Chain A
Amino acid sequence: MVEQSRVALELRDVAKSFGAVAALRSGTLVVERGSIHALVGENGAGKSTLVKIVAGVHRRDSGTFRLHGEDVDFASTAESKGSGVAVIYQEPTLFPDLSVTENIFMGRQPRSRFGRIDRGAMHREALELFARLGVEIDPRRPALGLSIADQQIIEIAKAISLDASVLIMDEPTAALSGVEVERLFAVARSLRDEGRALVFISHRFEEVFALCDTVTVMRDGAYVSTDPIAEITVDDIVSRMVGREVADLFPKTPATIGEPVLEVEGLERAGVFHDVSFTVRAGEIVGLAGLVGAGRSEIARAVFGVDGYDAGSVRLAGRPVKPRNPRAAIRSGMAFVPEDRRKQGLVTDGSVARNVAGVIRGGLARAGLLTSAAENRAAGPWAAKLEVKTSALDMHAATMSGGNQQKVVIAKWLATDPTLLIIDEPTRGIDVGTKAEVHRLLSELAGEGLAILMISSELPEVLGMADRVLVVCEGRITADIDRADATPENVMRAATNATSHTAEEVPA
């Protein structure tokens, strides 16, 4: 056990439930001053919940929570900030209408006489922060329209300006390129050397090993282990994260690959993606890999017609699909399981039955009349097939776990009898068990001849599931790699832009 006085942040056996769902069963994390502590685990392992408890967003149900040796219990984010805890979330939370500077200092602006905000001092400080981070952003421009990387930088500047003793970064590098990651690491190291405690959450092990001193592994909402980074290997971490051999997770069954189903030609949308061409064949799982924000989801959305595109064409089974019209895409045989299931995938305040029957309901009407009974009759078998866990079909999707919700979304789309399934982040935020179920299902569906376009930020998932990997970088497809040739190294290189001088710096 570490010496108490050196411990900055200490959480032991912390639990947190949301309704019936236990997001965190037993979280333990002990972070020393002057160290960078990695927190790793799969999506849904409870890392984000743990972070939100430290941040004061959630209150724990039970367990110990100490800051610099003192028991604390934050009821609000203001309290945690006041105690010197800064958190950088996965998704930046900025005020789009306000200037970059105001975003950094909101709520604690430097004051001059009469409580007046000292704008001059504020801008100077912002410039100093940016200089320290080695970036050039106009502090007076509004946050609206900043790229995700820029927004992340502002979050970091905000955290640094707080002069926090504990700094938590929840996947700060997901959207950053190589240079930006290096710059962030330099800042993190200098903060560590000042004696601060840092928690770094990342899915990229090479970053964990390059940056951190200690690593804590979580699985299924519980603590697994803590080790100095020098005494552990990637394989150890992965097996602890997953709790079984990795191969089990990706039951990829070989499928006969047939005719082209989806043909995308020269798809172009200004500022988002450029000259995107690819094909997905029957029975084939094509993985779309790349950094967050590279434009993968945007390409998928354009193909499905949720967004428009400026040039190019989409053909399904040889027939052109009308742009910017999801109905036309559905009619042509496309199905789309989107990235954010709570916002895009389903109507969480709607019943299971209405969600599952949501796309096919037009055909359920008799003489133009649609009844709940007809929807229930249609939805029941599909829910059963996906083994959705619910007590009744009128239960709201909001009360269900992430994995169950994902099953509802998949059921809804399989009910349309599609020929192409586009699935964006198929297993994000769902438990390990359901994850394996989803992977098995995708494999089976491909085996039956369904063409699948799968977007995933989890490299193991892409490598384990895909017959072919397309890598997207800054809106362009930079690589098309066969299953046999795909390695984490060549996918990452293509994802961080091989043409850039930074490519060599990406640790493999």
Chain B
Amino acid sequence: MSTLTQPTGTASTPAPEVRTYASYSRPYWQRVVLSREFAVIALLVAVFVYSQSQVDYFDGPQTLYYLFRDTASILLLALPMTAIIVTGEIDLSVASIVGLTSVAFGMLHVDAGMSVTLAAVLAVAIGAVCGAFNGFLVAYVGLPSIAVTIGTLALFRGIGAGLLGTESRTDFPDSWTDLAKERIVEGQPYPMILIPFAVLAVLFALMLHFSSFGRGIYEIGLNDEAAHFTGVDVARTKAVLFVLSGTVAGFVGIYTTLVTGVARAENSTGLELPVIAACLLGGVSIFGGKGALHGVIAGVLLIGVIQRAMLLESFTINIINITIGVLLVLSVMSTSLLALGRRAVAAGRGARDSRRPPSAPASGR
């Protein structure tokens, strides 16, 4: 209730000489440069510059356009996924929600004869309902999100498959499918989808990094019990994030349908994995509590650039998958390898790692 910014009120009188604190222990440039996010961004720039100069046709007119168009789904889904992983949960069902909403969108438009707009609104709503279902089970029933979303991964995709079977709907107005493929400025490599992405990215960044709600998200990930004791509504926060995840997945379902021109149940199968991989690559800790949106966006683009460049170098998609897998393992291992190194140094001084440190653990988790 208090909106105090200065300690006033009933508490004891301030000490005569008031201690002051520096806000930060390290200078600004160190905090920026020595961060995980900066490393990912630097790697992205390096890979991009290298590709520009060394990979034939990478600087061609279509490369970046297709890069953005194809990674747009992952970029969008990574926004709510970041927040969910920061709370220590996970949503494996996003790609299935994309599939289901794609089917729903196609059927509502083609079979039920609704306008594209109305069908799209309803499809997004269906996505939100799917997210709410996950959120309810995880946040209010208290079930582990990995188990719940493995179940709904099958369930949501299964409903799509049940509704449409192996059929598909392709009868969409050209004006809409063209819009999905259009460029913001003709001649520039930026597809239209980047506009809604930019808007959502800003909104998610504000929510995650510049709001009390966002602070709660990080606290839940670091220590949900302490968050609860501090008055953070842990359940509601998680539920909101899952609903957001479903909503964004619904939007991606429509985008995927329009950009490919096909509504079918198999759309975006397996897409949850690159989304999660990109989040982890971008510096989000799977234990929760750590990560930032700019790192994740750089992570998605890094995967995209590597894919593009390798495709142009005529590597097969398989080699590319191996590369991404190795990158993912290395990136998550890097944190613990560093910790291991630090611990080895500490061990030299006799401070042995212990699971139950008595008074002052050097590393909480």
A172 within 8 A of B: no
Q: Is the CB of A381 within 8 A of B6?
A: yes
Name A350's contact: one of B10, B222, B352, B365 (CB within 8 Å): B222
The reply to whether the CB of B14 lies closer than 8 angstroms to some CB of chain A is yes
Chain A positions within 8 Å of B356 at CB level: 52, 57
- Asked if B359 contacts A343 (CB within 8 A), the reply is no
CB distance from B224 to the nearest CB of A (A): 10
Rounded to whole Å, the gap between the CB of B221 and the closest CB of chain A is 9
Task: Give min CB distance, A416 to chain B, whole Å.
Answer: 5
Report chain B residues within 8 Å CB of A448: 10-12
Q: A385-B18, A399-B360 are in contact. Are A365 and B229 (CB under 8 A)?
A: no
A23 part of interface (Cβ distance < 8 Å) = yes
> Contacting chain A: which of B22-30, B53-61, B159-167, B178-186?
B22-30
A18–B4 touching, CB < 8 Å: no
Set of chain B residues within 8 Å of A331, measured between Cβ atoms: 1
**Distance, CA A378 to CA B350, complexed state (A):** 39
A401/B23 in contact, CB under 8 A: no
Query: Does A479 make an interface contact (CB < 8 A)?
Result: no
Q: Does B231 contact A (CB under 8 A)?
A: yes
User: Is the pair A60, B350 in contact by a Cβ cutoff of 8 Å?
Assistant: yes
The distance in angstroms between the C-alpha atoms of A20 and B361, with both chains bound, is 10
A485 at the interface (CB under 8 A from B): no
Of A20, A327, A345, A419, the contact of B226 (CB 8 Å cutoff):
A345
Contact B359 A44 (CB under 8 A): yes
Which of B19, B349, B358, B363 touches A384 (beta carbons < 8 Å)? B19
Report the minimal beta-carbon distance from A330 to chain B, rounded to whole angstroms: 5
Q: Quick check: A445 and B228 within 8 Å, CB to CB?
A: no
Is the Cβ of B12 less than 8 Å from the Cβ of A362? no
Within 8 A of A (CB), among B336-364: 349-352, 354, 356-364
Set of chain B residues within 8 Å of A414, measured between Cβ atoms: 7, 11
Residue contact A370 to B215, C-beta cutoff 8 Å = yes
Which residues of chain A are within 8 angstroms of B210 by Cβ–Cβ distance? 369-371
Residue pair A402, B1 in contact (C-beta under 8 Å): no
Given A392-B24, A448-B10, A416 and B1 contact (CB-CB distance below 8 Å): yes
- Digitize B100-131: 1 where CB-to-A-CB distance is under 8 Å, 0 elsewhere: 00000000000000000000000000000000
Report A337-384 residues with CB < 8 Å from chain B CB.
Answer: 338, 342-350, 352-354, 358-365, 368-374, 376-378, 380-384
**In the bound complex, do residue B360 and residue A338 qualify as a contact, i.e. CB atoms below 8 Å apart?**
no
Is A449 a contact of B10 with CB atoms below 8 Å? yes
Of the residues B18, B21, B26, B363, contact of A398 by C-beta under 8 Å: B363
Bound-complex Cα distance A392 to B20 (A):
9
A348 to B365, CA, bound (A): 10
With A and B bound together, what is the CA distance between A44 and B219 in angstroms?
Answer: 28
- A401 x B360 contact (CB < 8 A): yes
CB of A400 within 8 A of chain B?
A: yes
List B contacts of A401 (CB < 8 A).
359-360
CB of B365 within 8 A of CB of A361, answer no
Q: Are A344 and B24 in contact (CB under 8 A)?
A: no
With A18-B360, A392-B25, A394-B25 known as contacts, the answer to whether A343 contacts B3 (CB < 8 A) is no
User: Judging by beta carbons under 8 Å apart, are B7 and A393 in contact?
Assistant: no
Is A18 touching B362 in the complex (CB atoms < 8 A)? Answer: yes
Q: Verify A364–B25 contact, CB threshold 8 A.
A: no
Partner of B4, one of A360, A370, A394, A429: A360
A348 to B359, CA, bound (A): 12
Q: Which chain B residues lie closer than 8 Å to A483 at the CB level?
A: none
Q: Which of A23, A377, A383, A441 contacts B12 (CB 8 A)?
A: A441
When the two chains form their complex, are residues B351 and A384 in contact, meaning their CB atoms are under 8 A apart? Answer: no
Query: What are the interface flags for B220-237 relative to A under an 8 Å C-beta threshold, 1 for contact and 0 otherwise?
Result: 001101111111010000
B211 CB within 8 Å of chain A: yes
Q: Does A49 contact B (CB under 8 A)?
A: yes
The yes or no answer to B2 lying at the interface (CB within 8 A) is yes
Instruction: Provide the bound-state CA to CA distance between A326 and B10, in Å.
Output: 22
Dominant secondary structure at the A interface:
mixed
Q: Complex Cα distance A60/B352, Å?
A: 9
* A57 surroundings in chain B (CB, below 8 A): 354, 356
**B24 — which chain A residues lie within 8 A by C-beta?**
392-394
- A327 pairs with B219, CB closer than 8 A: no
Q: B interface, by DSSP: helix, strand, loop or mixed?
A: loop
Q: Within 8 Å of chain A (Cβ to Cβ): is B212?
A: yes
Kindly list chain A residues whose C-beta atoms are within 8 Å of the C-beta of B11: 385, 414, 417, 445, 448, 450
Assuming the contacts A58-B352, A361-B215, A384-B20, asked whether A398 and B362 have C-beta atoms less than 8 A apart, the reply is: yes
Closest Cβ of chain A: how far from B252's Cβ, in Å? 27
| B residues near A368, Cβ cutoff 8 Å | 211
**8 Å CB contact of A306 from B5, B19, B228:** B228
Contact, CB under 8 Å: A19 / B9: no
B218 at the interface (CB under 8 A from A): yes
CB contacts (< 8 Å) of A362 on chain B: these are 212
- Given A330-B1, A363-B4, A365-B211, A392:B352 Cβ within 8 A: no
A52–B358 contact, CB under 8 A? yes
Question: Is there a chain A Cβ closer than 8 Å to B15's Cβ?
Answer: yes
Q: Is B23 in contact with A394, judged by CB distance below 8 angstroms?
A: yes
Q: Is the CB of B10 within 8 A of A21?
A: no
Q: How far is the CA of A327 from the CA of B222 in the complex (A)?
A: 20
Residue among B12, B214, B227 with the most chain A CB within 10 A?
A: B12
Asked if B250 lies at the interface with its beta carbon under 8 angstroms from chain A, I say no
Q: Binary interface profile of A, 318-335, with partner B (CB < 8 Å = 1, else 0)?
A: 000000001101110100
A347, B25: Cβ atoms closer than 8 Å: no
Q: Report chain A residues within 8 Å CB of B1.
A: 330-331, 333, 363, 416-417
| C-alpha spacing A399/B206, complex, angstroms | 29
Decide yes or no: A385 and B359 within 8 Å by CB, A330-B1, A363-B2, A392-B21 being known contacts.
no
**Minimum CB distance partner of B215 in chain A:** A361
**Contact yes or no, A383 B21, CB < 8 A:** yes
Known: A387-B15, A414-B7. A347 touches B360 (CB 8 A): no
Contact A393 B206 (CB under 8 A): no
B289 interface hit (Cβ, 8 Å): yes
**Bound state CA distance, A445 and B10, in angstroms?**
8
Q: How far is the CB of A479 from chain B (nearest CB, A)?
A: 29
CB pair A59 B359 closer than 8 Å = no
A52 to B227 CA separation, bound complex (whole angstroms): 30
Given A360-B2, A392-B21, A414-B7, are A344 and B225 neighbors across the interface (CB < 8 Å)? yes
Determine whether the beta carbon of A348 is less than 8 Å from that of B6. no
Given contacts A61-B351, A369-B206, A394-B24, contact A384 B18 (CB under 8 A): yes
A-B contact pairs, 11 of them (CB 8 A): A344-B226, A347-B226, A349-B223, A350-B223, A361-B215, A373-B23, A380-B21, A384-B18, A390-B21, A391-B25, A445-B12
Interface, chain A (partner B; CB < 8 A): 16-21, 23, 44, 48-49, 52, 57-62, 75, 306, 326-327, 329-331, 333, 336, 338, 342-350, 352-354, 358-365, 368-374, 376-378, 380-385, 387, 390-395, 398-402, 412, 414-417, 419, 429, 441, 444-445, 448-450
Q: Taking beta carbons and an 8 Å cutoff, which residues of B are in contact with A? A: 1-12, 14-15, 18-26, 206, 210-212, 214-215, 218-219, 222-223, 225-231, 233, 289, 349-352, 354, 356-365
